[in-house]
Chain A
Amino acid sequence: MSASFSMAYPLGLLGLLALPLIWWLHRYVVKAERREVSCLALWVDREQVRHEGAQRQRVPDRVVLALELLAALALCALLAGLDLPGAAAPRPTVGLVLDGSASMAGGRQGARPIERVRAVLAQLAREQPGLHVSIVLAAERPELLGERVLSAAAADRVLAELEPRGSVCNLPPALELMSALGVDAQSTWLFSDDPELVHPRLIRVGKPDANAAIVHADWRPGESPFVVLRRFELDPSSRDASLPIRLQLEIDGARQSTTVQVPREGGQPFQLPVDGRAREVVVTLPADALAFDNQVSLLRPLERRVSLRSEQLSQPLQAALAHALRAIPKLQPTASPSADLVVRENPSAAAREPSLVFLTQGSKPASFAPQPLADPFAALLSGFDGRDLLWFAFERAPVPGARVLLQSDPQALIWQHGDGVFVNADLAQSNLLAHATFPIMLTNLADELDLARGGLPRSNFRQGERLRFEPPRAASGEVAVQSPSGKSWRFERGQPVELGLLSEAGEYALQAGAQKQSFSVQLLSEAESELRQRKPADARLPEIATSARAPGETRSRLRVPLLLLLLAACVGAYWLLGGGWKRAGLNPAPTKRADA
Chain B
Amino acid sequence: MDERAVLQALRSYRLERRLRRAQGTLGAELGHRAGSSLEFHDYRAYQPGDDPRRIDWAVYGRSEELTVRLFREEIHPRLDIVLDGSRSMALADGRKPALALELCAFAWHSARLQGSAVRVHVAGEKLLSGEQPPSAPPGDARSLLFDAPGSCARALRGGGLRIVISDFMTEGSVHAAIRELSAGAAQLVVLRTLGPWEASPSIAGALELLDAETGAQLAAQLAEQSVARYRSRLARLSDSLRASCRATGARFADVICDVPLLDALRRDLLPAGVVTPS
Contact = CB atoms under 8 A, between A and B. Distances in A.
Contacts of A313: none
B84 to A, nearest CB: 10
B110 interface: no
Interface stretch (B71-79, B156-164, B206-214): B206-214
A595 B213 CA distance: 27
Contacts of B215: 60
Interface in A24-56: 31-45
Contacts of B210: 34-37, 40
Contacts of A44: 218
Given A34-B207, A37-B210, A43 B88 contact: no
Interface stretch (B57-65, B167-175, B178-186, B270-278): B167-175
B89 to A, nearest CB: 8
A589 B226 contact: yes
A343 interface: no
A44 B234 CA distance: 12
B216 A57 contact: yes
Given A33-B206, A588-B226, A38 B88 contact: yes
Interface stretch (A214-222, A432-440, A578-586): A578-586
A510 to B, nearest CB: 78
A244 interface: no
A587 interface: yes
B47 interface: no
Nearest to B219: A581
A535 interface: no
Interface in B175-221: 195, 197-198, 204, 206-221
A586 B92 CA distance: 24
Contacts of B208: 31-35, 61
Contacts of A418: none
A40 B229 contact: no
A39 B170 contact: yes
A584 B208 CA distance: 13
Contacts of A37: 91, 198, 209-212
Contact of B211 (A39, A581, A595): A39
A33 B210 CA distance: 10
A33 B207 contact: yes
Contacts of A31: 208
B226 A40 contact: no
Interface in A384-415: none
A323 to B, nearest CB: 103
A590 interface: yes
Contact of A595 (B209, B216, B225, B237): B225
A580 B91 contact: no
A421 to B, nearest CB: 88
A58 interface: yes
Bin chain A's interface residue count: 20 to 34
B112 interface: no
Contacts of B214: 40
Contacts of A328: none
Contacts of B170: 39
Contacts of A61: 208, 217
Contacts of A581: 218-220
Contacts of B234: 42
Interface residues of B, number: 37
A587 B219 contact: yes
* Interface hub of A33, A34, A587 (most chain B Cβ within 10 A): A587
- Chain B contact surface mostly: mixed
Contacts of B220: 43, 581, 586-589
Contacts of B197: 35
A32 B198 contact: no
B46 interface: no
A42 B92 CA distance: 18
A40 B230 CA distance: 10
Interface in B223-278: 223, 225-226, 229-230, 233-234, 237
Contacts of B230: 42-43
A594 interface: yes
A589 B229 CA distance: 12
Contacts of A579: 219
Interface string A510-541: 00000000000000000000000000000000
Given A41-B171, A588-B225, A58 B217 contact: yes
Nearest to B231: A42
A32 B205 CA distance: 10
Contact of A40 (B195, B204, B211): B211
B169 A43 contact: no
A391 B198 CA distance: 110
B107 to A, nearest CB: 22
B65 to A, nearest CB: 63
Contacts of B204: 33, 35
Interface string A198-219: 0000000000000000000000
B169 A39 contact: yes
A60 B212 CA distance: 14
A43 B212 CA distance: 13
Contacts of B169: 38-39, 42
Nearest to B210: A36
B223 A36 contact: no
A38 B167 contact: yes
B209 A40 contact: yes
Given A581-B218, A595-B225, A43 B171 contact: no
A57 to B, nearest CB: 5
A58 B237 contact: no
Contacts of A57: 216-217
A310 B207 CA distance: 102
A61 B211 CA distance: 14
Given A33-B206, A42-B230, A580 B198 contact: no
B86 to A, nearest CB: 8
Given A35-B209, A38-B167, A61-B208, 8 more contacts: A33-B206, A35-B210, A39-B169, A41-B171, A60-B215, A584-B218, A588-B220, A595-B225
Can you list the 6 inter-chain pairs with the closest CB atoms, starting with the nearest?
Answer: A589-B221, A38-B88, A38-B169, A39-B169, A581-B219, A40-B211
27 contacts: A32-B219, A33-B204, A33-B208, A34-B209, A36-B209, A37-B198, A37-B211, A38-B167, A38-B169, A38-B213, A39-B169, A39-B170, A39-B213, A41-B171, A42-B230, A42-B233, A42-B234, A43-B230, A57-B216, A587-B220, A588-B220, A588-B225, A588-B229, A589-B222, A589-B223, A590-B221, A595-B226
